[in-house]
Amino acid sequence: MYGHGHTPRTPEAERSRRWFMNKALLAGGVAAVATMTGCSSSSSDTASSASSSGAPGGAPSGMPSGGPGGGGGGGMGPGAEQVKYADVVGVTNDGKVVEDLYTIHSTDVSTDSLVKAAQAFLDGLSSTERKSCVFDIDADEWTAWSNVDGYDRKGVRMGDMTEKKQNLGYALLGEALSADGLTQTRGIMKLNAFLGDSNGGNQKTLTEGHYFFTFMGTPSTTKPWGFQYEGHHVAINYFVLGDQVVMTPTFMGSEPTTGTYKGEKITLFKPETTAGLAMIRSLTAAQLKKAVSSQSNGNEDMKAGAGQDNLKLAYEGLQCSGLTSAQKTKLLDLAGVYIGYMSEGHAEVKLAEVEKHLDDTYFYWMGETEDDSAFYYRIHSPVVLIEYDAQAPLFYKGDTSTASATASATASASASASASASSNSGGPPGGGMGMGGGTPSQEHIHTIIRTPNGGDYGVDLLKLHLENDH
C-alpha cells in the first residue's frame, strides 16, 4: 500500500443520498430540480413510487443509477455499479483482456516538471487539506468519479481554497494538460458557472469552484502516483509511472457548449464536432453502410461513462483496415483532438500507440451528418475508446440574458419534473435525471476517452511495476 489510507465512498452512502434527492425532487419541484443539474439514463420506473421502493444498483425506483451516460446510463454517480480498483480489468470487446498491450518503458518525455508542480500544490495545502485528498495508489477513489454536479466527492475543493492555492492547482493542470486541454477544462468550469447563473445562481455545485483534486500515491519521478481532477462535466484521471503517463478515463462535457461568461465568449467541442463530421463525410457509400447504424441517435448513447470500468463493448461499425491513407489521416486527426488534451509529448506517445493498432480500429456513427446535427460517434480499438454524444439540453434553453429566458428555463425544468413524476413505465428516455424527453443538440455534449484492456488508471502498468520491481 502507498500513501495514506482513506475509506472510499460506499454504495450505501450513495443510496442514502439518492433517496434524499429523489424525495426532494418530488416534494420541491423546480427548486429541487435546480440543484440536480446533470446527466442521466432513461428511467422506466415512475417517480411516484420512488420514495417507497428500492431499485437495482442502489438507487430508489425512479432515480437513475450508474455512471453518466454509460452502460447502465447516467445517474448520480457510479454508486453500487462502481468497480473496486482491485477488480478493474478494463473495457473489453468480449470480456477477455487482450494481453501484452502495455509495457513499462521509457518514453523520453520527462515528467520532472509535472512532479514538481504536484508536490508544490500538496506542499501548499494545510495538513487537514492534505489528509483529505491523499489516498493509496490502489485506492478505490480512482473509480469513484462522476460527471454529475451534485455528486458527493472526496478531496480538496477549488472553491474552498485561497487564490494562491488555486493557482498552484491550475499550474499542476497546466503541466499535465496541453494548452488546449487546460483551455477546455477551464472553459467547462466557466460554462458550469454560466449554467448556474442562467438558472438563478446561488447553487454551490454550478460554479467555477465546485471541482476537486485527489491524489493517489506520492508524486515521484520513479514510483507510481497519480491524481484525479473532478467535477460537473469534468473527470480527469492521471496516472504517472516514471516518464509514462496514462490520462484515462477522461470525461469532458458541457451544457451549454457556448456562452459568454464574465465578458469571455466560450465555445467548446467544435474540434470534436468538425473533425467527426470530416471523418464521416470522407467515407464512400459502401463504407457508410458499415459505419452508420440503422438506429438513429437517442438522448443518451454513451456506453463507457462512470461505473463502467469493466464494460463489455463489442466492436461495431467500419473496420479501418480498409481506409485510404487520407481517411486514416482524418481518423487520427479525430483521435488526436481527444488525445491532444494531455501534455504534448505524452500525447504524441499515445497517438503513436493508437496508430499502431489502426487496422484493428472501428469507427461507428449514429445520427445525421449536417453541420448542426446532433449525433453520436465512437472510435474503438484494443488501445483506445472514444465516444462523442450530443444529448438533449437539461436546463439551458438558449439566451438567458433576460429574465424571461431564465423563467422559460425554469418553467421547462418544472414541466420536465412533472412529466417524470407522472410518466408511465417504459416511457421515452429523459433529458437528464430521468426527467422528461427532449431533442438532442450540440448545446449539450458528453465525451469520454478510455484505454481498454486494463490501461485505464494505469492499472496494467501498476501491476507490471509491482510484479517486476517489488
Contact partners, residue 428, CB within 8 Å, separation at least 6 = 42, 299, 437
Average pLDDT over residues 262-281: 98
Q: pLDDT band at 399, cuts 50/70/90?
A: low
| Residue found under cell 494548452 | 179
pTM: 0.81
Sorting pLDDT into bands at 50, 70 and 90, what band is 468?
A: confident
User: Which amino acid is it at 128?
Assistant: T
The single-letter DSSP state of residue 4 is -
Task: Identify the pLDDT of residue 295.
Answer: 86
* 216 pLDDT above the threshold of 80: yes
Task: Give the pLDDT of residue 34.
Answer: 35
Cα(47)–Cα(172) distance, rounded to whole angstroms?
43
Percent of the chain with pLDDT over 90: 70
What's the mean per-residue pLDDT of the chain? 81
Q: What is the DSSP string of 386-450?
A: EEEEE---SS--S--SSHHHHHHHHHHHHHHHHHHHHPPTT-PPPSSTT-------TTSEEEEEE
CB-CB contact of 252 with 318 (8 Å): no
Q: Is the peptide bond before 256 cis (omega within 30 degrees of 0)?
A: yes
Q: Measured between alpha carbons, how far is 32 from 98 in angstroms, rounded to an integer?
A: 45
pLDDT-wise least confident of 52-56, 184-188, 285-289, 292-296: 52-56
Amino acid sitting at position 1: M
Of the listed ranges 66-70, 256-260, 294-298, the least confidently predicted one is 66-70
Q: How many CB atoms lie within 10 A of CB 293?
A: 15
Return the pLDDT at 437: 54
Q: Average of pLDDT values for 115-119? A: 98
Q: Is the pLDDT of residue 239 over 80?
A: yes
- pLDDT at 213 > cutoff 70: yes
Please report the DSSP string for 255-299 in residue order: SSSEEEETTEEEE-SHHHHHHHHHHHHTS-HHHHHHHB-SSPP-S
CA distances from 154 to 19, 159, 309 (A): 20, 14, 19
